[in-house]
Structure 1
Amino acid sequence: AQASLAQAIHILASYLLQALAGQPDLRGQFAAAMSGVLSMLCVASAFPILGVGTSSSATLGASEFGADDECVVENGGNSSECALNALQHRGLKRTSVEASKANTSAEAEGSQLPWGCSGCMQGNSPPGVSLSSTSTEHRPIYHFMLNCWNSCGKKSGFCSWCGPGNACCRYMYPGDPPECKTVSYFPVLSWHTCTSPVQRAAPPAPAPALGPVAPGVPSSVPGTTSREGEDYQPVNRALAAPSDAPLLTFYMYRAMGDNDYAPENVNTASLAGIMWYLHNEVVVLTPRKFGITRIVRMKVQTKAPAPLHDVGMNFGVRYAFDSGRCTGPWSCDKQFGNYGYFVGCNNVGDFPTEKWSKANHYADAIWYSLPGPCSNRKFSQHDSTCLSTSPGGACAGEPTGRGNCTYSATPAGEIRIDELEGIVNYKLFALTGGREYVHTLDRGVNLHFWDGKTDPARCAQRVKAAEDLFAAKYGPAEPLETPKCDFWRRGFYGSSPA
């Protein structure tokens, strides 16, 4: 019996490690082997690895694993750790001491890695709820992220145009009815939009409907108007009128965890920029920094306000955000007053992150900033006053180039990082010694997707792999050309940057 048990554990560990090493042809065999082995084993300490709860009485003593030379009993012969060690030990043998120390120390210190980009791409989010209840692929909200004010009869509250039981509400708007006060997630922060309140009631008589938009990949409605922003009275009167700047349409990407939050007061990137960020800041830690699990694509339209376009730019400086608050460089409010709530950009390696000029090997890596309401405060400090006085640049429909209407963004799909890398189960991968990327080794452990960070050809292959995965899930992308980041520091700031 002992020999059979030891052999079973060997089989399970072997298939597990091979599957997690990125060999898809073994996944089916692994699943079958797992089913057979687990039917033989009633080992409670092995089940937490697989996320399965068991009774504490279903445990076996350490002596029953004695014949298994892969089982390392530590902590004075603690039998509850033995089965877990048996599954992990072979994988951990393949993890170098250097790799283990690199990730463990960085995680324990909770500090920025010296080769990282510090505040260039914050992973902070406003109040939201879990992906399971708000994912754009699952929520029953019609006309997602669109302006619902006119379509719901210029009234907030329950509205059938938003879908059964849903409501037209605005983030922190004091005049909205009680059901809007129970909304925990707003897809946008700057206008009335369709939401799913906790308080449920029979919806009112149907409003004029345009038909539901396919969940997950809705489209904007050009010309949609809103009462929001009507009290925007900029000191620079050129910002009160639409601009003649060109309308730019392209994709932006966000690295996110399993929470949804609005694309306002955040940093985004080109696909190459996201891959740089993941490579340098996220996959070097186990578990990943900020719990990032996916790459979210957005179709974005931008239009520069007249004062910015007059100095020859479609984009201003790329600001960083900390929990929704614009942190510079220098004064955000001053430049928003001069140029409106512009979309910012910088090429990785250019100001304000020029120190990475020699560390970037991803061609066309660009980062962006999208200013939203109350950008001079953290999310926890928002109120209705700052929503009015600091409206941000997001607008429903096609942006006009007015100082408070410089960009719009709609979802255009997402991919999971595990799927991109070929990881079947991230938790098992990490438990058995896998590491996505170790900076000091320039490679992963039991994974090779991120190997060769300084090789431009391999970096291009990684970007192409992400493009191909989006295409496989959503069909060929629209032929949208990423515009040049034309921010010019001297032209923007003149002689007085502060």
Structure 2
Amino acid sequence: SAVAPLLPGPPAFLPLAHAPPSHESRTPKIAPATAPPTPSAPAVAPQRLEFYMYRVEAAGEAFPRENTNAANLAGVLAYLHGKFAASGTFQGGRHLSHIRRLKVSVLTTWEYYNVHRKNFGPGVEFTGGRCRGAACQEFYAHYGFVVGCRNIEGLRSAYALSQSSTCDAPEQCRRAVSYSLPGACPGEFNSDKTAICASRMPGGRCAAANGGRNCTYSVQEAGAVAVAELPPAGTSPEVFWGGRGDPVRCATRVLRVKQLFEAHFPRCPSCDALQAPPCDFDFLYKGELSWPVHHRPITV
């Protein structure tokens, strides 16, 4: 079916309350603590979250289902726009050809939730199937393969989600977010993973997430749209990708991607129907990976 032309303006939405910092923080915050915090109220069960993640991929690139990163729609467009050069090409040594949509179901472990009361752990960057960052393997060994998140900062763009979820600060619900999906042998590059390693560190991907240490998320493909389709007919890439810091033009590009997915995959839930939740991770306590873990709910 035909895709509606690029609209002159996006749906009304509130601008971000604060400009993003000039750099991107990849290191989880550490809060001082010498003993596990005592829950002040009966435990509320972790939420089962079902939503879309997105990835920008190169032509012919194999789709990784684990040990990889994905983002919400604002995040993936911010990343893609950052690769766009003034000449109308994409930088980075790869031909970035399409945006892939993933339907994911996430349920964190009780081991992690008992300490943090959060649905996401710290966001971890994966390169070639290997997690980067201090103690990422130790974290997964301690709590299970918890899906991580981090707010994307410092991309010098104005991308945000036009539909807010419910949270304490509405502007935080609309931020660009990156997610990490830990899989088997997260401490090894893809070429170095072995069956023995996978038996010890099997990862969190499974057929239906149940919150077990090795079953924290499931992934299904939900279509892809070509990057070349994003500029409507008669609109040059230079014009379409102009205004990287303009909230109105960024929101219009977000809307364009939604239109394309709905046109090409009308039987799938819309992008807004399964919009990604905000990143609720805040910090890790100093020394918490040495604390005992509790495999069942803690109530006080």
Structure 1 423/318 Cα, relative in aligned 2: closer, same or farther at 3 Å? farther
Q: Tell me the secondary structure at the aligned position of residue 78 of structure 2.
A: helix
Structure 1 residues 177-217: Cα deviation after superposition (integer angstroms, max 9, x where no partner): xxxxxxxxxxxxxxxxxxxxxxxxxxxxxxxxxxxxxxxxx
**Does 2:178 align with 1:375?**
no
Larger radius of gyration: 1
Structure 1 residues 347-377: Cα deviation after superposition (integer angstroms, max 9, x where no partner): 112xxxxxx18x3411131110001111100
- Pick one of 274, 281, 289 that aligns with 1:480: 274
Q: Tell me the secondary structure at the aligned position of residue 112 of structure 2.
A: helix
Choose between structure 1 and 2 for higher RCO, CA contacts under 8 A separated by at least 6 residues: 2
Distance 1:277 1:266 in 2: 15
Distance 1:118 1:382 in 2: 29
Q: Which residue of 2 aligns with 1:280?
A: 82
Structure 1 494/117 Cα, relative in aligned 2: closer, same or farther at 3 Å? closer
- Pick one of 362, 366, 391 that aligns with 2:177: 366
Structure 1 297/378 Cα, relative in aligned 2: closer, same or farther at 3 Å? same
Q: Which residue of 1 aligns with 2:231?
A: 421
- Pick one of 281, 303, 320 that aligns with 2:125: 320
Matches within 5 A, 1:328-367: 328=133, 330-349=134-153, 356=154, 359-363=156-160, 364=174, 365-367=176-178
Structure-2-length-normalised TM-score = 0.70
Structure 1 residues 130-152: Cα deviation after superposition (integer angstroms, max 9, x where no partner): xxxxxxxxxxxxxxxxxxxxxxx
Q: Tell me the secondary structure at the aligned position of residue 448 of structure 1.
A: helix
- Pick one of 245, 254, 262 that aligns with 1:454: 245
CA shift at 1:251, angstroms?
Answer: 0.3
CA shift at 1:421, angstroms?
Answer: 2.3
CA contact 2:83–2:90 (8 Å) conserved in 1 = no
Matches within 5 A, 1:216-295: 244-258=45-59, 259-282=61-84, 286-289=89-92, 290-295=94-99
CA contact 1:324–1:377 (8 Å) conserved in 2 = yes
Q: Which residue of 2 aligns with 1:393?
A: 204
CA shift at 1:496, angstroms?
Answer: 4.0
User: Gaps (5+ residues) in structure 2?
Assistant: 1-21, 28-43, 161-173, 290-300
Identity, % of aligned pairs?
36
Counterpart of 1:412, as a letter, is A
More strand per residue: 2
Q: Which runs of 4+ in 1 moved over 4 A?
A: 115-120, 282-285
CA contact 2:157–2:246 (8 Å) conserved in 1 = no
Structure 1 residues 22-41: Cα deviation after superposition (integer angstroms, max 9, x where no partner): xxxxxxxxxxxxxxxxxxxx
Structure 1 308/119 Cα, relative in aligned 2: closer, same or farther at 3 Å? closer
Q: Which residue of 1 aligns with 2:294?
A: none
Q: Tell me the secondary structure at the aligned position of residue 273 of structure 1.
A: helix
CA contact 1:348–1:360 (8 Å) conserved in 2 = no
CA contact 2:46–2:117 (8 Å) conserved in 1 = no
Structure-1-length-normalised TM-score = 0.43
CA contact 2:55–2:70 (8 Å) conserved in 1 = yes
